[in-house]
Structure 1
Amino acid sequence: MMPFSDEDLRPPVSNIIETRIAPMLARDGGAIELLDIIGGRVFVQLQGACVGCSASGSTLKFIVEKELKAAIHPDLQIVNVPQGMENNLQEL
């Protein structure tokens, strides 16, 4: 069980995405956006060169998920939101 509320998670998740993850992705033409946090599930969207890239699954698992779980809590769930699904997070 997640010991933090979604509101408590937002500032540190946002900070890590902006300061650690986004710069790494930007070096290869990619980007990431934090869409929402619901029930301890972090909804992000890979953008730019990451869209359609064959390595995007690895990027999500070994960069985004690894950084967030190590820095915040190992039970965080990271969900990549496909383009066009931004308004349907409950379906993911």
Structure 2
Amino acid sequence: MIRKIEKLFDEQVRPALAAHGGDIELVDYDNDKLYVKMTGGCQGCSASQATLTDGVARLVKQHFPDIVDIVDVTDHSKGDNPFM
């Protein structure tokens, strides 16, 4: 499952985030929850939660309906170069 999610991230999520200087890491998958960490321009960005819920979560749940939640484990207060 993790390899399939990584492939989705590589093909559809990371290119969009990279356009804004950001990236996303898959941290863990446990009990139908996906744990992610946003980095680069996404860390501390004021639009990161919208990106996560409206973009990443929607896409992931569309391809993997068994995933019930996507948990952001990013420490957004440590972002030193947020996009917004």
TM-score by length of 2: 0.82
Q: In angstroms, what is the RMSD of aligned CA positions?
A: 1.2
1:13-92 residue pairs with structure 2 within 5 A?
A: 13-73=5-65, 75-83=67-75
Aligned AA (1:17): F
Identity of aligned residues (%): 32
Aligned AA (2:48): S
Deviation at 1:12, TM superposition (A): 1.6
Structure 1 counterpart SS, 2:42: coil
Structure 2 counterpart SS, 1:31: strand
**Unaligned segments of structure 2, at least 5 residues:** 76-84
Structure with more contact order per residue of length (Cα contacts < 8 Å, sep ≥ 6):
2
- How many equivalent pairs are there? 75
Aligned AA (1:79): V
Please give the alpha-carbon distance, in whole angstroms, between the structure 2 residues aligned to 1:44 and 1:53: 15
Please give the alpha-carbon distance, in whole angstroms, between the structure 1 residues aligned to 2:61 and 2:54: 11
Q: Is the 8 A contact 1:68 1:76 kept in 2?
A: no
TM-score by length of 1: 0.75
State whether structure 2 residue 42 is matched by structure 1 residue 12: no
Runs of 4+, deviation exceeding 2 Å: none
